[in-house]
Amino acid sequence: MPTIWSGQYVSLGRHGNNHFQPNNQRGSAMRALVFQHAGEAEDVLQLSRHSIPDPMPGEVRVRVTARPIQPADRFFIRGQYRIKPTFPQIAGLEGTGVVDTSNDPAFHAGERVAFRWSGTWAEYVTVPAARLIRVPSDVSDDDACQIALNPITAWALLEGAQAGPGDWIALTAGGSTVSALIALLARARGIRVISLVRGDVARMATKSNADITLSVDEPDFPASILQATESVRISALLDSVGGANTAKLFGVLRPGARVVAYGAQDASAIPVTNAMLVYQNLTWVGFGIDHWLGGISADQYNAMLTSLWQLIRSGSLPLPVAGRYPLEQAREALQAESNPDRLGKVLLIT
């Protein structure tokens, strides 16, 4: 079986989103989980030695302390993510750490930061200063390393739902981390949530945080939705799946409802006609987190982060951790991450 440890020392040239300068001194080397071609993470990752990257103007070098393993990381390693690897490629798309060296006046050595940027499965990474989030001193690395993707995505999707107190919203892939966070944020706003799942509803309900959890495996699950809401129709559908089941959900939406598509787990076509949209005055939009972030003001962005940090501190927005593994135990970490019964993220730590 392929190993995730390789004792080789490799000095890379500039590639991808990180910049490596030739350096043959072992004392200034770092460890990184690298893949030379696309494939399954367990098969293609190697723990190698690399020269520590130097930040370019406007960049900051971060000593990374924690990184969550996300589904996007596996897609990135397979070459199936919207960001394509450039080989040899350091894995990882998210993390937290401490500023080591800064080439931007906005950040200084010693500051704790979180970020979403490629190459995080290494001891050091260079990140554009504009992509950094300052981490409050009373927030743990366990929480900080998760802030840049799922909590912000959940917040943005709930904003896109445009639902208010007393409204019902529905979430596909209701057992996912993003769906669970949306449900918690919705609860704080008085919005009621139905999570739609596959498999064991009782088990998935423990993950969903929703008011009601229903199975799409039922022959007539849309009727179950209206029964659960006492015939109140859904104000917004946040859909990360697609396919035929999404079309069935159009029948339980109220006039003027919004459908926000943010994933494509089911690649089959959605049989929706113009008449379904027009006669109910529905709005159907696609969502990408980077596009959304690019469309909000600095004040809106800072207000969002302030609210998220407060919710995390108070325990109202828990970000559970299922395990912590050093880089050299990446295989064990990936095995733990693949367990469907785990509660929380698996972290790679240094």
331-349 pLDDT, tens per residue?
999 999 999 889 899 999 9
pLDDT greater than 50 at residue 104: yes
More confident residue, 78 or 208: 78
Question: What pLDDT, on a 0 to 100 scale, did the predictor assign at position 177?
Answer: 94
Residue 77 lies in a domain: yes
Structure confidence by residue, pLDDT tens digits, 321-330: 999 999 999 9
Same domain, yes or no, for 138 and 205? no
Indicate whether 163 and 179 sit together in one domain: yes
pLDDT tens, position by position, 51-74: 999 999 999 999 999 999 999 999
Based on the domain organization, do 129 and 220 belong to the same domain? no
Residues 157 and 222 in one domain: yes
**Mean pLDDT confidence for 301-328:** 97
pLDDT of 257: 98
Q: Are 101 and 108 spatial neighbours (Cβ–Cβ below 8 Å)? A: no
Give tens-digit pLDDT for 184-241: 999 999 999 999 998 888 778 878 899 999 999 988 999 999 999 999 999 999 999 9
- 17 alpha carbon, distance to own chain's centre: 19
Q: Is the pLDDT of residue 16 over 90?
A: no
Query: Is pLDDT of 128 > 60?
Result: yes
- Answer whether residue 102 is part of any domain: yes
Q: What is the mean pLDDT of residues 154-173?
A: 98
Q: Same domain, yes or no, for 87 and 161?
A: no
Query: What CATH number did the domain enclosing 29 receive?
Result: 3.90.180.10
**Distances in Å between the alpha carbon of 193 and those of 1, 225, 234?**
44, 11, 9
Q: What is the pLDDT of residue 27?
A: 53
> What tens digit of pLDDT does each residue of 233-272 get?
999 999 999 999 999 999 999 999 999 999 988 989 999 9
Domain boundary among 276, 291, 306: 291
DSSP letter (8 states) at residue 219: T
165 & 286 share domain = yes
CATH of the domain at 238: 3.40.50.720
- Whether residue 84 contacts residue 65, with contact meaning beta carbons closer than 8 Å, is answered with no
pLDDT above 90 covers a percentage of the chain that reads: 85
Q: What's the confidence (pLDDT) of residue 205?
A: 81
Task: Look at residue 11 in the predicted model and tell me its pLDDT.
Answer: 32
- What integer is the mean pLDDT of 282-304? 96
Say if residue 286 is in the same domain as residue 155: yes
Classify residue 297: in a domain, yes or no: no
> Which pLDDT does position 24 carry in this prediction?
36
What is the model's pLDDT at position 180?
Answer: 95
pLDDT digits (tens, 9 = 90+) for 112-124: 999 999 999 999 9
In a domain, 304, yes or no: no
Q: Does residue 154 sit in the same domain as residue 284?
A: yes
Same domain for 127 and 169, yes or no, is: no
The reported pLDDT for the residue numbered 122 is 98
In a domain, 330, yes or no: yes
Given this model, what pLDDT does residue 340 score?
85
pLDDT at 199: 82
Q: Is the pLDDT of residue 43 over 80?
A: yes
Does 41 share its domain with 104? yes
Ranges of beta strands (E only) in 70-227 are 89-90, 95-102, 112-115, 124-128, 132-134, 168-171, 192-197, 212-215
Is residue 39 located within the same domain as residue 142? yes
Q: Does 134 have pLDDT greater than 70?
A: yes
Residue 254 in any domain: the answer is yes
Q: Are 71 and 36 in contact (CB under 8 A)?
A: no
pTM greater than 0.75: yes
8 A C-beta contact, residue 40 and residue 18? no
Do 102 and 208 fall within a single domain? no
What is the residue-averaged pLDDT of the chain? 91
Query: Does the pLDDT at position 274 exceed 90?
Result: yes
Q: What angle (nearest 5°) sits at the alpha carbon of residue 73, between those of residues 71 and 78? A: 100
The reported pLDDT for the residue numbered 14 is 32
Domain with 202, as residue range(s), is 150-291
**Residue 195 forms part of a structural domain:** yes
Q: Which tokens in the block code for residue 301? A: 């962005």
* Tally of structural domains, the chain: 2
Look at residue 339 and tell me if it is in a domain. yes
